[in-house]
């Protein structure tokens, strides 16, 4: 997954150039024992340009996604989601299947990670019902993100019920009791 950077080439993703970002190398030239590395931050999308000596190049860590991960990453358009996945790959973490579901570009995944456990519970409820995040955005693009990260399980259950109705499923969705008797 991670390699020594002696064989760096354009397209490689490395950590160690920017303090809080991974960098995709776009151009690499060697001259007088130094390397000029040009690239773009994965999260920031900001262009970066560094002149590095051999010791500094040796300090870089190349991120090597597996072939399956490369394929899945190619389907992700949301920059923040792609950056989070690459960071998880860099740390060697196992990534759950639902994290690979493409999240629409306008969805602020950083807001969702504030209450990650709430988001995970919402994702579990959604996937248990057989739906994905894009399904939610298809039904209600304006409120889908907020519903996913809210603590309002009743609204999420309503959304799942709407999804089931639209997709022609008839099973009832349990709506949590909001504090009163049934």
* CATH code reported for the domain at 2-63: 2.30.30.30
Better-scored residue on pLDDT, 2 or 87:
87
Tokens 């960098």 locate to: 23
Q: Which two tokens stand for residue 76?
A: 């992700």
> Is 36's pLDDT higher than 80?
yes
- Token pair of 74 as six digits: 């190619």
Query: Which tens digits make up the pLDDT trace of 126-170?
Result: 888 888 877 877 777 777 777 776 667 788 888 888 888 887 754
Does 112 score more than 70 pLDDT?
Answer: no
pLDDT tens per residue across span 57-106: 888 888 878 889 889 988 988 877 888 888 888 777 888 888 898 877 66
What does the domain layout of the chain look like in residue ranges?
Answer: 2-63, 96-166
Contact 20, 42 (CB under 8 A): no
Residue 175 has pLDDT above 80, yes or no: no
C-alpha to C-alpha distance for 24 and 177, rounded to whole angstroms: 48
Say which residues have a Cβ less than 8 Å from residue 115's Cβ, sequence separation at least 6: 149, 151
């Amino acid at each position: 997954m991670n390699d020594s950077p002696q064989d760096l080439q354009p397209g490689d993703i490395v950590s160690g150039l920017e303090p809080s970002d991974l960098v995709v190398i776009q151009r690499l030239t060697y001259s007088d024992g130094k390397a000029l590395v040009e690239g773009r931050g994965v999260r920031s999308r900001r262009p970066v340009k560094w002149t590095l000596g051999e010791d500094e190049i040796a300090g870089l860590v190349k991120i090597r996604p597996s072939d399956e991960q490369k394929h899945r990453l190619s389907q992700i358009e949301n920059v923040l989601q792609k950056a989070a996945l690459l960071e998880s790959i860099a740390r060697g973490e196992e990534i759950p299947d639902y994290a690979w579901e493409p999240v629409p570009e306008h969805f602020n995944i950083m807001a969702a990670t504030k209450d990650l456990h709430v988001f995970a519970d919402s994702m579990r409820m959604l996937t248990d019902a057989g739906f994905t995040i894009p399904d939610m955005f298809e039904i209600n693009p304006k409120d889908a993100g907020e519903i996913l990260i809210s603590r309002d399980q009743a609204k999420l259950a309503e959304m799942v019920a709407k999804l089931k109705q639209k997709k022609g499923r008839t099973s009832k969705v349990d709506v949590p009791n909001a504090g009163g008797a049934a």
